[in-house]
Amino acid sequence: MANQNKHRRQFLKNSVKASGFLLMTPLIDKVRFVESSGKQKQMITVPNRIKFAVIGIDHPHIYGMTDAIKRGGGELVALYAKDPAMTAAFMKAYPEVKLAKNENEILEDPAIHLVLSSGIPDERAPLGIRVMQHGKDYLTDKPGIITLEQLAAVKKVQKETKRIYSIMYSERFENKGTEKASQLVKAGAVGKVIQTINLAPHRIKNNIGKTGLAVRPDWFWDKKRYGGILTDIGSHQFDQYLHFTGSTEAQVLMSQVGNIHHPDKPLFEDFGDVMLQGNGGAGYIRVDWFTPDGLNTWGDGRLTILGTDGYIEVRKNTDLLSGNKGGNHLYLVDKKEMIHMDCNNEVLPFGPLFVDDVLNRTETAMTQAHCFLATELALKAQKNARPMTFRK
């Protein structure tokens, strides 16, 4: 068996050489490499500008959310969660947090400005409504809303209370390569954006990093609990499409979903894609759960932004061809040259901007209209998606 694997690896190496990858070497030599920022830096914020709490931990995304708000000057003061293991791990990571006896202890504390949650997806919108009704702002993990009925209820209460209902689209807000792409597009580096293409493969058994889950909980396999693949993973991509095209209106032209390879999980979806048209540009989205175990990260996420004067590709988590380790690699091609940027020293502004918004009642991190429109598009794409079937 060992010899077979050795021969197979050698065959693959020879195949790659013969397939034309070596023909790209002269092209690679002409790509100018730069670091997008000379050294690691952070936005300077005053500590303890607001007090915030966490209610519900059913996904490790809560760590990135908490770190972002702390970077913005938030003081973590309280936690209430039902899962004992995740509660213990969170309290170990943030020893300053105090364990609340129940949800109401947090909701009724007038000193707390903001509540974060990474609860089970179908429970996130009802919790957000209760948070807003208690006069607090809310930041939830994605998907923050899993049905159009939930969206209508959330919008009604948000309008009545004037509180912030926000969703942490971490594939934009917590990815430094994507943040640099935002800066470049805003500066006109590729001209007018025509289209975005988002490829977002994910790994089911993901034990990479502290935000991974090696074993998925029961709700992960139940569409009624997580909303479907376009609602769940796809929420990131609808956000990026609107952001980079500047679209304030959009429609779903086509969407399809399927359970291609998990017949033992009939309520699960492992593939989906979408075509979009908006008043700022077009978009294509593909999401799936087919990241192979051989990849060195949880998913080879890619964002391509096509403009009238050039294009950008962000390799979010890995870059197979260049051999550069890690993610946050950005490629820019314009009318003059080809550039490869290492974006790992970029600043992530979401946390400080969001805390500013909580304090000043502004919309600098993300507008409420944008948040709701990204969600609405994902929900409509999911609801109207054609089922995928393959003839054998």
Pairing, β 114-118 against β 50-57: parallel
Looking at every residue in the chain, the average pLDDT score rounds to 91
286 part of a folded domain: yes
The two three-digit tokens of residue 257, written as one number:
């979903």
214 part of a folded domain: yes
For residue 387, give the DSSP letter: E
Task: State which residues form the domain around 281.
Answer: 175-349+381-387
For residues 22-35, give the mean pLDDT. 64
Contact 250, 373 (CB under 8 A): yes
At 350, which amino acid appears? Answer: F
Helix (H, G, I), strand (E, B) or coil at 256: strand
Give the CATH number, domain containing residue 323. Answer: 3.30.360.10
Give the whole-number percent of the chain exceeding pLDDT 70: 88
Tell whether the model's pLDDT for residue 20 goes beyond 70. Answer: no
Same domain, residue pair 140 and 259: no
Same domain, residue pair 341 and 194: yes
40 part of a folded domain: no
Tell whether the model's pLDDT for residue 323 goes beyond 90. Answer: no
Last residue of a domain, one of 148, 168, 188: 168
Residues 6+ apart with CB under 8 A from 74: 48, 49, 50, 51, 52, 114, 351, 355
154 part of a folded domain: yes
Q: State yes or no: cis peptide before 60, omega within 30 of 0.
A: no
Last residue of a domain, one of 168, 183, 201: 168
91 part of a folded domain: yes
Same domain, residue pair 311 and 226: yes
CA–CA separation, 20 and 63 (whole Å): 42
Considering only 37-41, 114-118, 288-292, which range has the smallest mean pLDDT?
37-41
CA–CA separation, 257 and 233 (whole Å): 12
84 part of a folded domain: yes
For residues 4-11, give the mean pLDDT. 55
For residues 352-361, give the mean pLDDT. 98
Considering only 5-9, 168-172, 204-208, 211-215, which range has the smallest mean pLDDT?
5-9
Tell whether the model's pLDDT for residue 11 goes beyond 70. Answer: no
Considering only 42-51, 201-210, 340-349, 379-388, which range has the smallest mean pLDDT?
201-210
Tell whether the model's pLDDT for residue 38 goes beyond 90. Answer: no
- Work out the pLDDT band at 12, boundaries 50, 70, 90: very low
Cα dihedral sign for 283, 59, 141, 171?
negative
CA 61 vs CA 17, 68, 70, 223: distances in Å: 39, 11, 15, 19
For residues 374-388, give the mean pLDDT. 97
pTM score = 0.90
Helix (H, G, I), strand (E, B) or coil at 137: strand
5 part of a folded domain: no
Classify residue 382 as left (phi > 0), alpha (psi -120 to 50) or beta: alpha
Helix (H, G, I), strand (E, B) or coil at 90: helix
How close are the terminal C-alpha atoms of the chain, in Å? 31
Q: Nearest-CA neighbor of 240 among 314, 310, 136? A: 314
Structure confidence by residue, pLDDT tens digits, 264-303: 999 999 999 999 999 999 999 999 999 998 888 889 999 9
369 part of a folded domain: no
The pLDDT score that the predictor gives to residue 389 is: 82
Residue 150 is inside which H or E element, if any?
A: helix 148-161
Classify residue 73 as left (phi > 0), alpha (psi -120 to 50) or beta: left
Give the whole-number percent of the chain exceeding pLDDT 90: 80
For residues 133-145, give the mean pLDDT. 98
Structure confidence by residue, pLDDT tens digits, 198-251: 999 999 986 655 555 667 889 999 999 999 999 999 999 999 999 999 999 999
Considering only 32-41, 254-263, 357-366, which range has the smallest mean pLDDT?
32-41
The pLDDT score that the predictor gives to residue 15 is: 44
The strand order across the sheet containing 386-387 reads: 32-35, 338-342, 329-333, 311-315, 302-307, 193-201, 282-288, 271-278, 250-258, 386-387
The two three-digit tokens of residue 347, written as one number:
């600043």
Last residue of a domain, one of 115, 138, 168: 168
The pLDDT score that the predictor gives to residue 326 is: 86
Structure confidence by residue, pLDDT tens digits, 89-101: 999 999 999 999 9
CA 158 vs CA 118, 136, 268, 370: distances in Å: 19, 11, 31, 14
Q: Please state the domain count of the chain.
A: 2
